[in-house]
């Protein structure tokens, strides 16, 4: 029988964090959700607030946190360019000070701590698909650097805390993830395309739409995070978690338009600075270490995401 753990999820009211909280509760664990609600929202966790094993706390991880837990998932950080570029200094502080505070907490409690890192540590990659030993091609001076370099520094801190203090760490590099509870104004292609198509607006693509992405449904991603957390202490990562099936942004737009049943038109805009032209994970390590790979087909995941946004738009409520 699985032992009940007390689990801290920072960024727990966010898109991925709220799904993770839900899954942890379903497994019988106690969950402490911490969020400052910059991009997360109480709407995402409203259905959990009456659960006897769930607790929500408003807190910013750039300040120390004094709680008692067995495991920590550190997901707190704005993750879309629109949000992390709004206050780039705060974004960097969230990545670095947040990592330091969660590592300090894990050290004191002798708890396991998982860092939600990102495929953005690879920058605009010169190696394709990206493997965990690729060190990346990142512009440290550009508008995306607050996020890219913040996450890279957080990984450094995690491995230094392991070497210097023996903290039990896990590092997951998350690739493009989508699903219900995405923020409608996060500037990401899936949510952008769906909201625009449902509202009868032109669907905007950047450049010619030939850049590629790979899209992992949120349920698959959460399963990967939990499997990584449950590995033996010698398994630290980093481990890529994402979908290795690569498609062009233009193809994604066409699929979304078809699913929404909309006669939407495409509107081309200039490519943003430092926007990666290709992004696709090599998940060989996740397959070997975690026996994990995505199982939700893109069509099925998009259909569930479209249904979510349709319902939210009908009620005129913020969609995340």
Q: Which residues are catalytic?
A: 147
Say if residues 56 and 96 touch (Cβ distance below 8 Å): no
Contacts 24+ apart (CB under 8 A), 295-302: 295/220, 296/217, 296/219, 296/220, 298/215, 298/217, 298/243, 298/245, 298/247, 298/255, 299/255, 299/259, 300/217, 301/178, 301/179, 301/215, 301/217, 302/178, 302/190, 302/194, 302/255, 302/256, 302/259
* 306 backbone φψ class: left, alpha, beta (φ>0; ψ -120 to 50): alpha
β partners of residue 30: 6
H/E element, 178:
strand 177-178
Closest to 301 measured CA to CA, from 242, 193, 244, 216:
216
Q: What is residue 11's DSSP assignment? A: T
Which residues are CB-contacts of 258 (< 8 A; sequence separation ≥ 6)? Answer: none
């Amino acid at each position: 029988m699985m032992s009940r753990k007390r689990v801290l999820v920072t960024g727990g009211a966010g898109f991925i964090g709220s799904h993770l909280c839900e899954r942890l509760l379903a497994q019988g664990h106690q969950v402490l959700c911490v969020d400052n609600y910059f991009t997360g929202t109480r709407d995402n966790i409203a259905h959990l607030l009456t659960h006897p094993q769930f607790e929500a706390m408003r807190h910013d991880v750039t300040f120390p946190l004094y709680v008692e837990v067995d495991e920590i998932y550190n997901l707190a950080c704005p993750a879309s360019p629109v949000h992390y570029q709004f206050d780039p200094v705060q974004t960097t502080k969230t990545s670095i000070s947040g990592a330091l505070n969660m590592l300090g907490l894990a050290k004191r409690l002798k708890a396991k701590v998982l860092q939600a890192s990102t495929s953005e540590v690879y920058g605009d990659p010169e190696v394709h698909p990206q493997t965990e030993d690729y060190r990346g091609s990142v512009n440290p001076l550009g508008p995306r650097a607050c996020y890219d370099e913040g996450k890279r520094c957080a990984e450094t801190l995690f491995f230094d805390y392991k070497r210097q203090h023996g903290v039990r760490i896990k590092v997951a590099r998350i690739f493009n993830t989508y699903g219900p509870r995405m923020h409608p104004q996060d500037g990401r292609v899936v949510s952008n395309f769906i909201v625009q198509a449902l509202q009868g607006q032109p669907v905007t693509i950047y450049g010619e739409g030939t850049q590629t992405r790979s899209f992992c449904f949120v349920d698959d991603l959460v399963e990967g995070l939990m499997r990584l957390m449950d590995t033996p202490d010698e398994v630290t990562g980093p481990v890529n978690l994402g979908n290795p099936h690569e498609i062009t942004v233009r193809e994604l737009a066409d699929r979304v338009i078809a699913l929404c049943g909309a006669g939407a038109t495409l509107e081309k805009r200039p490519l943003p600075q430092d926007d990666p032209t290709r992004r696709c994970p090599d998940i060989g390590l996740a397959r070997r270490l975690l026996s994990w790979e995505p199982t939700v087909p893109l069509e099925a995941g998009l259909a569930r995401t479209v249904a979510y946004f349709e319902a939210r738009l009908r009620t005129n409520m913020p969609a995340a």
